[in-house]
């Protein structure tokens, strides 16, 4: 009877040693899961979102500058042929009554001797605001009383007087007729009368004032 030793293949110790050599299944599963958050995490996405917001803010910040530039250019005319030797600041009014506007023919003629068709306006006196000056000039030059509605814009133009180039800046206001007769104007005006706003856009002598009439017409049409 031979005495053989038991095979080590089937011993509990051998199975345990083999099991110890194999990496645990749980550790492998944990390792694979640990990579998933890195793939799913969009660390770059918040940066893109914040960047788009910053870009939107930058684009919006430019809009007010464009709007203010448009306001500054509103009602302005092209520059003078030569340097202005004098400058004036005035205020005037576009007085409306329905679809009509009151206009004046000043006693002072143009450089070529022709009559001028204009809107009422005049110098801002010391202590006056431009609006107060515009309201006073409307009363003096047209004979009518009007109440202010809003500021229309600023016009700039140049004209010749006694051989000099005068640079003129005028702030215009929209007024609504209240009462008064155009025959009650002062002696600086030859006549004052009502014409249609669309006609004033064609007949007023100065291009800047024609533009003011157009702005008044657009305002009234929008308000209807």
Identify the pLDDT of residue 82: 52
Can you read off the two tokens belonging to residue 138? 């409307």
Identify the pLDDT of residue 19: 46
Identify the pLDDT of residue 155: 85
Nearest of 172, 174, 73 to residue 121 by alpha carbon = 172
Q: pTM for this structure?
A: 0.62
Can you read off the two tokens belonging to residue 204? 């007023």
Rounded to 5 degrees, φ, ψ at 6 are -65, 140
**Strand runs labelled E in 85-163:** 86-97, 100-106, 121-123, 144-161
Cα(151)–Cα(74) distance, rounded to whole angstroms?
12
What is the block-wise mean pLDDT of the chain (224 residues), using blocks of 10 residues?
46 47 46 43 44 45 32 42 72 97 94 92 95 97 97 86 85 98 95 97 94 95 81
Identify the pLDDT of residue 157: 78
Identify the pLDDT of residue 87: 85
Using CA of residue 72, residue 78, residue 83, residue 86, what is the dihedral sign? negative
How many Cβ atoms from other residues are within 10 Å of residue 69's Cβ? 10
């Amino acid at each position: 009877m031979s005495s053989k030793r038991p095979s080590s293949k089937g011993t509990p110790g051998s199975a345990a040693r083999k099991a110890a050599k194999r990496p645990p299944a749980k550790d492998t599963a944990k390792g694979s899961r640990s990579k998933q958050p890195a793939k799913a995490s969009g660390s770059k996405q918040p940066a893109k979102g914040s960047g788009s917001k910053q870009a939107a803010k930058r684009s919006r910040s430019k809009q007010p500058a464009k709007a203010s530039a448009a306001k500054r250019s509103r009602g302005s005319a092209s520059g003078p042929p030569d340097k202005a030797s004098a400058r004036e600041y005035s205020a005037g009014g576009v007085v409306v009554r329905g679809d009509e506007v009151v206009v004046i023919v000043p006693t002072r003629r143009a450089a070529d001797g022709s009559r001028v068709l204009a809107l009422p306006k005049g110098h801002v006196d010391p202590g006056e605001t431009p609006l107060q000056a515009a309201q006073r000039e409307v009363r003096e030059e047209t004979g009518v009383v009007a109440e202010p509605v809003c500021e229309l814009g600023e016009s700039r133009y140049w004209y010749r007087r006694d051989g000099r180039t005068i640079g003129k800046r005028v702030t215009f206001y929209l007024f609504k007729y209240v009462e008064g007769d155009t025959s009650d104007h002062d002696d600086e005006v030859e006549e004052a009368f009502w014409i249609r706003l669309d006609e004033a856009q064609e007949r007023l002598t100065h291009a800047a004032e024609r533009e003011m009439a157009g702005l008044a017409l657009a305002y009234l049409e929008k308000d209807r």
